[in-house]
Amino acid sequence: MGRVCPAPCEDVCRRNDVDEPVNINNLKRFVADLEYNKGQHLPVFVHPDTGHKVAIIGGGPAGLTCAYYLRRLGHSPTIFERMPELGGAMRYGIPEYRLPKKIL
């Protein structure tokens, strides 16, 4: 978070009327990096298994998000991805200096 968004909200931020816009990208990046560096993860509630299997085509951000929420609902998602690694455009379309691969 806070690494690749062009932050169009900062251009129209109402704080511009006072001094300067809230630097939302830097705030999001700071919080995300802080949590990442702690190495702790909050437990996620998962419903009991339903026995339903779901195929997801594509392991980009939308496919991964879909799999995450389906699993939380108790389903068994399987992601089918043609590339060697998951991540889609975030992995293959954004340069390393902008979005380090270790963060994915």
Residues 36 and 51 in one domain: no
Could you read off the pLDDT of 57-77 as tens digits, one per residue? 999 999 999 999 999 999 999
Could you read off the pLDDT of 13-29 as tens digits, one per residue? 999 899 999 998 889 98
Residues 67 and 85 in one domain: yes
Residues 32 and 57 in one domain: no
84 alpha-carbon distance from chain centroid = 19
- What's at 81, amino acid-wise? E
In the chain, pLDDT over 70 holds for what percent of residues?
99
Residues 55 and 97 in one domain: yes
Residues 100 and 77 in one domain: yes
Residues 50 and 27 in one domain: no
Residues 21 and 54 in one domain: no
Residues 5 and 49 in one domain: no
Separation CA 20–CA 68 (nearest Å): 37
Give the number of domains in the chain.
2
Average pLDDT over the chain, rounded to an integer:
91
Separation CA 26–CA 45 (nearest Å): 30
What is the span of the domain harbouring residue 2?
Answer: 1-41
Residues 33 and 47 in one domain: no
